Amino acid sequence: MRPFVFTQAQNQEQALAAAAANETAKYLGGGTNLIDLMKEDVERPSELIEVAGLGFQEIKSNQNGGYTLGAMLSNADTANHPDIRRHYPLLSMAMLSAATAQIRNMATNGGNLLQRTRCPYFYETSMPCNKREPGSGCGARNGMNALHAIFGWNEQCVAVNPSDMCVALAAIGAKVQVQRVNGTTRTIDFSDFHRLPGDQPEADNTLQPNELITAIELPKPAFSKHYYYLKIRERSSYAFALISVAAGLQIENGTIVRAGLAMGGVAHKPWKLTRAEEFLTGKLPQTKNFEQAAELAMREARPLEDNEYKVEMGKKAIVRALTQAYEKNA
Amino acid sequence: MKNTTPSGTGNPIDRVEGHLKVRGMAKYASEFPVSGKVYAQAINSTIAKGEITAIDTSEAEKQEGVIEIITYKNAEKLKRYDEELPSLLPDVIQPVLQSPKVHYYGEYVGLVVAETFEQAQYAARLVRFEYRTEEPRIHLDRQRSDAYKPEESSDYSRGDVAAGMAEADEKVEVTYHTPIEHHHPMELHAIIASWENGEVKAYASQQMIDNAAITIANTFQIPKEKVRVIAPYVGGGFGSKLHAKQHVILAIMAARKIGRPVQLTVTRQQMFTNTNFRQQNEQKMQLGAKKDGTLTALVHETLSHTSTYEEYQESCGTVSKMLYKVPNNKVSHRLVPLNLQTPFAMRAPGEATGSFALESAIDELAWKLKMDPIEFRIKNDTQTDPSNNKPFSSRLLTECLRIGADKFGWERRKMKPGAQQEGNWLIGYGVSGASRAAPYRETSSKVKLELKGGKVYATIQMDATDIGTGSYTIITQTASEYLDIPVDQVSVELGDSLFPVTPGSGGSWGAASYANGARVACMNAIRELNQKLNTDEDLSIQALLEKNELSSYETTGTAKPSEAFKKHSVYSFGANFAEVWVDKDTGMYRIKRMVNVGACGKILNPKTAFGQIIGGLTMGAGMVIAEQSRIEPKYGNFITRSFADYHVPVNLDLANIDVVFLPEEDKIANEMGVKGIGELGITSVAASIANAIFNATGKRMRDLPITPEKLIMAEPEPDAI
Ligand SMILES: Cc1cc2nc3c(=O)[nH]c(=O)nc-3n(C[C@H](O)[C@H](O)[C@H](O)COP(=O)(O)OP(=O)(O)OC[C@H]3O[C@@H](n4cnc5c(N)ncnc54)[C@H](O)[C@@H]3O)c2cc1C
Ligand code: SF4
């Protein structure tokens, strides 16, 4: 690992000031992603500013019926919190499907939002990767891309976002609160938080330099009864998803009045299935509707050389997740 | 002969070194507090083929703590290979940093030595290499025209396979693929090396002490007596630590150069590139049988690869020569030299991969014959090894299959695929036979007896290793039994080249060889003490010492294979039964339960034996569900380079495992009747699960690992739906 300065900020102002003073500094959450990448020489910060101890560890209910999750709270404490289990079981289920108990204990919610792709070319500094080294080329585009995107990719980057938590957040609909150096705050809609590669594959999200994530806002709970997180992977735990689907249904008088649907492992950002959600709204929770929603969702899939399977798998996964969500409490 | 004491062999006593391990007091190679030691970090090439054209060490040299940077330019000259493509044997020399040539991605090209580990790691990053790059040859498939026949023994035939196939009523002609897999023992490869008065001392994580000493001696061209290798505890090896690899040579070279002890730990990432692997295999099978299930022909042709600088061949076809009575048989192996490191023995080399192909093909043929796969196997069982006409010393394959079937509830299996369902799950049952040679090798041991406070204490010494298998425990039990003293009066000292020579841990010969070696030493002590007294009274070891008026005594003993052993084929046999639940849509599946039956001679300690089988089954499950090391087609590096992407099974992947050992007395194998267990477990898992998946889905999965992506894209066999 390259040498770096370790700064333990006492409060958020100090943290922000330290970040503003050093262009190559990075915030340190649980370190489960950042430290790994530093060992691999992929991330090379000259300074780490520890933010995990700054507070922002609460889960609060809001006046609008929603909840706010502190950014520095651990993934484990978030997923196991009674309010989250009761009102946002979809989020809980997705979070608990990720990594291992040990990693979830360390990982913070803020860090999870920013975890980087697991594209092997990104991890190996001797290979080209536009995300790691802009302009060096995308090794995966014409290389080994079985684990890569089927939606929203371009020649610049075909990587996928690896987070499970973010897939559930996309289905639920969330907002990210950030603090800026100048003392102001801003709120980013979750669908605008992560981005597609575009001509800036090095940027995973729309966070500006030095911005500190302080919280995740959740809307009034809608999917506490009918929800399912389906994660397809090679082994039963401790593996990233080949494909995952977060499905939430709000059913009233036998009809779907609201659907939340997002996929993981398919795009550079958590992939919200807006068209399928719209299609399902007002429909009966029946297999043929689920199948049609899946068809709609996958219509624009553009598989790469090695990941044709994701299209078939994706359809099946959407139908299964919706069915499980429906049957969960039916 | 004395009676077995309650603590003798056969009893499930706890590991004698267990408390040391639990308390972190068992020292592994990199944990020895050698004073004045410094740290080395090896540097890997970032091209797969070509030549180093320039090296810039200036930036690295400037860093705090850096002591030395070694590259081919300033490395000590070592012994070179005498021939082109020498066989990679466990004692072959390991020259390193001898030329600018690069043979594979990740080959060691340099070494940085610094005061601290962190300094060495950082400085290693700063050494700059420039290369002239050549197109690497890394595709087994595309390079198949380069295949050559490695040695005479790689081909075998009996009878006339064409005639046998012509005679057959049903045939199977299919090809199976297995990927590169890595050993990945928990403990990283590591060494602390020092030189003193022209002698090497190495604390090194090695499975075979004597071979390591020979490799070191021959590479540096010094007498073996001047090499001391110490490995009291080894955190697994699976074959990867059978010989001293290049990092061992690097550390010793560096220690000589700087005149201080050097510690070198191979990183997990380097364990993909520098400590060998199981090679990729393409196995083409042809089988024919008569309607009644009599096998008429069996052809097993393997294509795999070696490196461009050493030769290693894993005999996948061995199992097809000996497992079934078939008059017409042909086995061949071909190798393609590739720009990858040399493959090397990984748990059950040959059998693990060969059995997957054979035992899957047997299932395929049974299905075509509409015969129960167990009956089909039993129909072709034999008590004579058809490959050499020697009788098997003992072979309980049929018993393993029958008893296993009973335990497992095989009668509930439906022959038709997909006939058992529950919700979204398709349930399948599968079976595979297991076989693994049970070798036994010359082993020496020393016993030291001491009479203290009216009790006899014994110390057994040998250069054997305990790689997590339980060697300490079973040797303790053996000495306890043959000296007729309680286990807590026996101590065992292993893993030091100053001790008598053993074959080390590998090839499933450890338990049999170590136990018999210790037995002979103990029996020699008793015989010699009796001789001194000139009596044939049946005296206890304590009485023998007392009557001899000795407070201590020591002697040695050597156990060797008998003439009868050489006249027989000696194998362990077994069978594995698997129940697999396959999700009808998503391609995910669960191994619900397995029943494993083994006939592997005398069980010295049921606890350690269970551990070995369960370890083998787990590794076998890994072969099926996820393990594969994938090579980037352009750059030639492994893109799976940590445990985050090289997936081994987790607890949740393995539900219920039932292990059964059949009582078996096999005194031909060796006097104690001990046969190998360490590798038997892995040999039958892959086929039993693939066969269960067929039984569940009608899909023949012939390409390991069987991942959700492959399963979802596979079509059921036309005759299975
Ligand atoms: C082996 C392994 C397996 C895993 N498996 C899974 C899995 O199956 N599914 C899954 O979803 N995840 C998985 N993970 C990833 C894990 O969820 C992430 O590593 C974790 O969520 C990151 O959180 P952290 O707090 O440790 O982030 P850190 O590593 O501390 O930081 C990550 C990034 O976020 C930045 N950052 C941290 N906090 C803030 C903040 N408050 N404001 C602004 N920037 C910030 C850091 O500067 C850094 O760039 C796995 C990880 C490992 C190592
Ligand atoms: S897909 Fe993206 S992350 Fe992967 S190599 Fe291409 S640019 Fe890099």
CATH number of the domain that residue A18 is part of: 3.30.43.10
Burial category of B607 from C-beta neighbours within 10 Å (exposed 0-12, middle 13-18, buried 19 and up): middle
Q: Is the pLDDT of residue B2 over 70?
A: no
> What average pLDDT does the segment A97-116 reach?
97
Q: Looking at beta carbons, which residues of chain B come within 8 Å of A308?
A: 713
pLDDT, tens digit (0-9, with 9 covering 90-100), for B317-358: 999 999 999 999 999 999 999 999 999 999 999 999 999 999
Q: Which 110-129 residues of chain A touch chain B by CB within 8 A?
A: 118, 120-121, 123-124, 126-127
Nearest to B380 by CA among B340, B339, B326: B326
B281-289 sheet: strands from edge to edge: B156-158, B328-337, B295-306, B281-289, B170-178
pLDDT, tens digit (0-9, with 9 covering 90-100), for A36-71: 999 999 999 999 999 988 989 999 999 999 999 999
Question: In this predicted structure, what is the pLDDT of residue B655?
Answer: 78
A202 part of a folded domain:
no
Nearest to B566 by CA among B669, B666, B667: B669
Q: Is the pLDDT of residue B5 over 60?
A: no
Question: In this predicted structure, what is the pLDDT of residue B3?
Answer: 41
Q: Looking at beta carbons, which residues of chain A come within 8 Å of B118?
A: 1
Contact: A313, B712; criterion CB under 8 Å: yes
CB distance from A85 to chain B under 8 Å? no
Q: Return the best residue to mutate from A43, A125, A136, A141 for the ligand 2 pocket (most ligand atoms within 8 A of CB).
A: A141
- Residue A163 Cα to ligand 1 midpoint, Å, equals 9
Percent above pLDDT 90 for chain B: 97
> What average pLDDT does the segment A11-17 reach?
94
- In degrees to the nearest 10, what's the CA dihedral of A49, A54, A59, A60? -120
- The answer to whether the beta carbons of residues B49 and B118 sit under 8 Å apart is no
Question: In this predicted structure, what is the pLDDT of residue B367?
Answer: 98
Angle at A233 between CA A230 and CA B239, to 5 degrees: 160
Question: In this predicted structure, what is the pLDDT of residue B373?
Answer: 98
Q: Is the pLDDT of residue A330 over 60?
A: no
> How would residue B649 be classed by pLDDT, with cut points 50, 70 and 90?
very high
CB distance from B121 to chain A under 8 Å? yes
Which atom of ligand 1 is nearest to A36's Cα? Answer: 53
Rounded to whole angstroms, the Cα distance separating B349 from A193 reads 50
Rounded to whole angstroms, the Cα distance separating B520 from B443 reads 9
Question: In this predicted structure, what is the pLDDT of residue B682?
Answer: 97
Please say which residue of A52, A75, A90 terminates a domain.
A52
- Residue B636 Cα to ligand 2 midpoint, Å, equals 18
Give chain B's radius of gyration (CA, Å).
27
What the block records as the tokens of B89 is 């044997």
Amino acid occupying residue B153: S
Question: In this predicted structure, what is the pLDDT of residue A329?
Answer: 57
Question: In this predicted structure, what is the pLDDT of residue B437?
Answer: 96
- The answer to whether the beta carbons of residues B504 and B464 sit under 8 Å apart is yes
What does CATH list as the number for B352-436+568-713?
3.30.365.10
CATH fold, domain B32-135+185-237+241-272, is Aldehyde Oxidoreductase; domain 3 (3.90.1170)
- The answer to whether the beta carbons of residues A217 and A66 sit under 8 Å apart is yes
Buried b (16+ CB within 10 A) or exposed e, B50-78: bebeebebeebeebebbbbbbbbeebeeb
Contact: A242, B585; criterion CB under 8 Å: no
A187 part of a folded domain:
no
pLDDT, tens digit (0-9, with 9 covering 90-100), for A204-248: 999 999 999 999 999 999 999 999 999 999 999 999 999 999 999
What is residue B555's three-state secondary structure? strand
Rounded to whole angstroms, the Cα distance separating B219 from B77 reads 10
B464 phi and psi, to 5 degrees? -60, 165
Q: Is the pLDDT of residue B6 over 70?
A: no
Q: CB within 8 A of B245, min separation 6: which ones?
A: B94, B189, B274, B275, B276
Question: In this predicted structure, what is the pLDDT of residue B203?
Answer: 98
pLDDT, tens digit (0-9, with 9 covering 90-100), for B256-298: 999 999 999 999 999 999 999 999 999 999 999 999 999 999 9
Nearest residue on chain A to B649, alpha-carbon basis: A235
What is residue A10's three-state secondary structure? coil
pTM for the whole structure: 0.97
Nearest CA to ligand 1 atom 3: A99
CB distance from B700 to chain A under 8 Å? no
Q: Is the pLDDT of residue A20 over 90?
A: yes
> What average pLDDT does the segment B616-620 reach?
97
Of B644, B649, B709, the CB nearest to A309: B709
Number of Cβ within 10 Å of residue B552's Cβ equals 12
pLDDT, tens digit (0-9, with 9 covering 90-100), for B205-250: 999 999 999 999 999 999 999 999 999 999 999 999 999 999 999 9
A185 part of a folded domain:
no
Rounded to whole angstroms, the Cα distance separating B353 from B346 reads 10
User: How is A248-265 classified by DSSP, letter by letter?
Assistant: EEEEETTEEEEEEEEEES
In chain B, which segments carry CATH 3.30.365.10? 18-27+441-560, 352-436+568-713
A209 part of a folded domain:
no
Amino acid occupying residue A179: Q
Rounded to whole angstroms, the Cα distance separating B408 from B657 reads 11
CB-based pocket (< 6 A), ligand 2:
A 117, 119, 121-122, 129-131, 138-141, 157-159, 201
Q: Which residue has the tokens 């990233």?
A: A240
CATH architecture designation of domain B18-27+441-560: 2-Layer Sandwich (3.30)
pLDDT, tens digit (0-9, with 9 covering 90-100), for B463-484: 999 999 999 999 999 999 999 9
Q: What mean pLDDT value characterizes chain A? A: 97
CB distance from A237 to chain B under 8 Å? yes
Of A1, A123, A144, the CB nearest to B122: A1
Question: In this predicted structure, what is the pLDDT of residue B261?
Answer: 98
Distance of CA A181 to the CA centre of its chain: 25
pLDDT, tens digit (0-9, with 9 covering 90-100), for B359-383: 999 999 999 999 999 999 999 999 9
What is residue B558's three-state secondary structure? strand
Question: In this predicted structure, what is the pLDDT of residue B362?
Answer: 98
Which atom of ligand 1 is nearest to A212's Cα? Answer: 42
Q: Looking at beta carbons, which residues of chain A come within 8 Å of B633?
A: 143-144
A148 part of a folded domain:
no
Rounded to whole angstroms, the Cα distance separating A308 from B127 reads 41
Question: In this predicted structure, what is the pLDDT of residue B4?
Answer: 43
B51 catalytic per annotation? no
Question: In this predicted structure, what is the pLDDT of residue A328?
Answer: 79
Q: Is the pLDDT of residue B11 over 60?
A: yes
Extract the runs of DSSP E, i.e. beta strands, from A185-265: 185-189, 212-218, 226-232, 243-252, 255-264
Domains contained in chain A, number = 2
Q: Find the CATH number of the domain harbouring A232.
A: 3.30.390.50
CB distance from A84 to chain B under 8 Å? no
Contact: B712, A316; criterion CB under 8 Å: yes
Question: In this predicted structure, what is the pLDDT of residue A158?
Answer: 98
Which atom of ligand 1 is nearest to A241's Cα? Answer: 8
Nearest CA to ligand 1 atom 9: A98
A147 part of a folded domain:
no
Q: Looking at beta carbons, which residues of chain B come within 8 Å of A316?
A: 585-586, 712
Global ipTM: 0.96
CA of A122, nearest ligand number: 2
Alpha carbons within 13 A on the beta-carbon side of B53:
8
CA of A45, nearest ligand number: 1
Q: CB within 8 A of B671, min separation 6: which ones?
A: B516, B519, B559, B562
| A165 touches ligand 1 (CB under 6 Å) | yes
For A238, the domain range is: 226-327
Of B122, B590, B634, the CB nearest to A3: B122
> How would residue B16 be classed by pLDDT, with cut points 50, 70 and 90?
very high
